[in-house]
Chain A
Amino acid sequence: MYRIIARETLTENIHLLEVEAPEVARKAQPGQFVAVRVDEEGERIPLTIADWDVERGSITIILLAVGTTTRKLARLNAGDSILNFVGPLGRPTEIDRFGTVICVAGGVGTASIFPISRLLKARQNEVIAIMGARTRELIFWEDHLRSVSHQLIVTTDDGSYGRKGVVTEPLKEFLGARKVDRVIAIGPAIMMKFCSLTTKPVGVKTIVSLNPIMVDGTGMCGCCRVSVGGETKFACVDGPDFDGHEVDWDLLMSRQRAYLDEEKESMKLWETKVVKK
């Protein structure tokens, strides 16, 4: 059992949990994830490591409460426990002294981008961060991201906060205006796809963190297979980071949709259980 030592509601649907897992905390690196199973009936799902604290022996995860597991997690309070918490999984993000790096975060992707930007900045890179959300209420950790970047642009689709529009617009402007050595884009598949399409014509290496459905997260089931450069890869052990210009995005998105009906059914049942309680 892994105890929750702190929790925070970041937006209506986005929650932060700080979980006691000292051994995982000692090993965590930017770009890695944990596999979580909330309770005995629970599914195993991957969640990005947003932060860690070796002294407190904790891992921070941030989740968007959209499915059964994430909604179960969202209801937990400090002092409650998660049944299983496995990590740190996946390869860490490659971080070097690249020069100028643009970090693009879409939605909960901010959770993944934060520790990456922090290390990039510590390694003497010029870090430009772009964070995008549909609307003002969905924005979180703006200060966090500002503190680990040299410049931060915020966009909202509806213009309710920051610049109106999507992340690819400022991305394109930066690419046209200055030398950019690398782009790291993390968020929904569609956003990562369009960031990759934006950087491809100018030939700037673009790293994305893929988020297919996973079961074990350790390379033994193959549920998370993705096609990169025409080759099948397992996102859990070969990734989750890949070259965005090589990813077969349509395949990723179609595999992500594989259980939409079951997800609805599962959530409906869970809702009736929660109401009964």
Chain B
Amino acid sequence: MAEKIKLNLNRVPMPKQTAAIRSRNFDEVALGYSEEQAIEEAGRCIQCKKPGCIKGCPVEVNIPEFIKAVHEGDMPEAARIIKSTNSLPAICGRVCPQETQCEVACALNKKGAPSAIGRLERYVADWERAHPEVGEKQKEHVAFNGKKVAIVGSGPAGLTCAADLTKLGYKVTIFEAFHVAGGVLMYGIPEFRLPKDVVQAEVDYVRSLGVEIKLDHVIGKIATVDELLQNGYDTIFLAPGAGAPMFLNIPGENLSGVYSANEFLTRTNLMKAYRFPEYDTPIKAGGRVAVIGGGNVAMDASRCALRLGAEEVHLIYRRSEVEMPARAEERENAKEEGVIFRLLTNPDCFIGDEQGKVKAVECYEMELGEPDESGRRRPIRKQGTEFTVPVDTVIVALGTSPNPIVPSTTGGLELTRWGTVKADEDTGRTSKDRVWCGGDMATGAATVISAMGAGKRAAADIDAYLNR
């Protein structure tokens, strides 16, 4: 007779820097589990016979198995299990929205206390990074199968696809436009959520498998996709990211002091403007900062602004908090740190001074009407509610649209009406022979892990295609 399992519903909390301290530094907010905490949390997993969590994970990490290894204190085994399907676990453990993927499918979630899968994944990945000799021993070296694949972009989709194909024997070259590999993991997500040395350690792991990464290579400029196909690459996986920032198209948006979130975050994270003048790239974030938008990027920008020395950060969002696309955890972090949420508020225009520098945002209030196509209640302007918010800096975080450089220089690549590349969801195949696409360039702005899932599926399909 099966023994009745006693459920432990006490999730081990993640130690964090306190809000008052962390809101003024760029060090990582979440400090990570200790070994004892990890083993304790791992003990809560009930080792389901039919685990839902694995299905919830876009890269299908064998979650119960690795958690079991953690509980037994066998970290090398836990790392081996994770790395067999996920090449970037220290990143995923930090930035995946587990609450909508693996953890939502956890049996314990019905009781409101799912296994802390993300925290455990992070613990294992950090443990492995601290014990490099273990990972080295576990690495298998596969013989070159004679086929070459080019990948455009070294973000999560590109890195995942590269690692998977290399493990199968392909010679993979990644072309990266920037001066460092990692894509959005380097330029977009801030240091305090995802330390850049953690990203570079995982990039180095992918390199150590045999992947070549060519930096400073803007495909479409230095070489076109067709030229790569003519010059010895058997197939190409396009993963250049979402690219171009969207604006509101309202008056005053080009005033100096108005940033896109992409620019603000690129200056801060990639160019290390938070260390200006030691680093040469400057940024303006003093006084009062308004951030427009309600997604994770808006949270990142708001929290960066605080750390850069803003006195007040006002987050302006046209719907209510329920409709915000940002993760609950990020909203909480932002509020704790002092970001002021100005909900049901929309900007009308920006006002500048004589020098052409932004000095105020004119806003109006909104109310929620019937649900729209997105299923969220449509915000409607409330007449006669106009008011002015004086500001020193504005950050527009409204999402991105596809960068045109690759599509406009590649013949035969079918696009959607949003300018994204048409790609089969299960395989990543595009309308163009020998060309696959995944990540934000195919889906529009989405998550790191969904891009990784696309990279993984494309790798499998490229392998099937080249072995047909």
Residues of A bordering B, CB below 8 Å:
23-24, 27, 37, 41-44, 68-69, 83-89, 215-216, 218-223, 225-227, 232, 234, 237, 250-251, 254-255, 257-259, 262-263, 265-266, 269-270
Contact = CB atoms under 8 A, between A and B. Distances in A.
Contact of B244 (A37, A41, A219): A219
Contact of B256 (A27, A85, A257): A257
A258 B256 contact: yes
- 7 A-B pairs with the lowest CB-CB distances in the bound complex, closest first: A254-B356, A262-B282, A221-B263, A43-B280, A222-B260, A258-B256, A84-B179
A220 B262 contact: yes
26 contacts: A23-B217, A23-B223, A41-B272, A43-B271, A84-B215, A85-B216, A87-B221, A87-B222, A215-B263, A215-B267, A218-B403, A218-B405, A219-B403, A219-B405, A220-B187, A220-B266, A221-B245, A222-B260, A226-B254, A232-B247, A232-B254, A237-B404, A251-B254, A255-B254, A258-B284, A263-B282
A69 B356 contact: no
Interface string B178-190: 1100000001000
Nearest to A225: B254
Interface residues of B, number: 45
A83 B280 CA distance: 14
Interface in B391-409: 400, 403-405
Interface of B: 177-179, 187, 215-218, 221-223, 241, 243-245, 247, 249, 253-257, 259-260, 262-263, 266-267, 271-272, 276-282, 284, 355-357, 400, 403-405
Q: Chain B contact residues: over half helix, strand or loop, or mixed?
A: loop
Contacts, number: 122
A266 B262 CA distance: 23
Contacts of B277: 262, 265-266, 269
B222 A222 contact: no
B350 to A, nearest CB: 13
Q: Chain A contact residues: over half helix, strand or loop, or mixed?
A: mixed
Contact of B245 (A88, A222, A259): A222
Contacts of A226: 254
A238 B444 CA distance: 21
Given A88-B221, A223-B263, A258 B405 contact: no
B404 A266 contact: no
Most B Cβ at <10 Å: residue of A232, A254, A270 = A254
Nearest to B216: A86
A141 B256 CA distance: 35
Contacts of B177: 86, 216, 218
Contact of A27 (B221, B278, B280, B355): B221
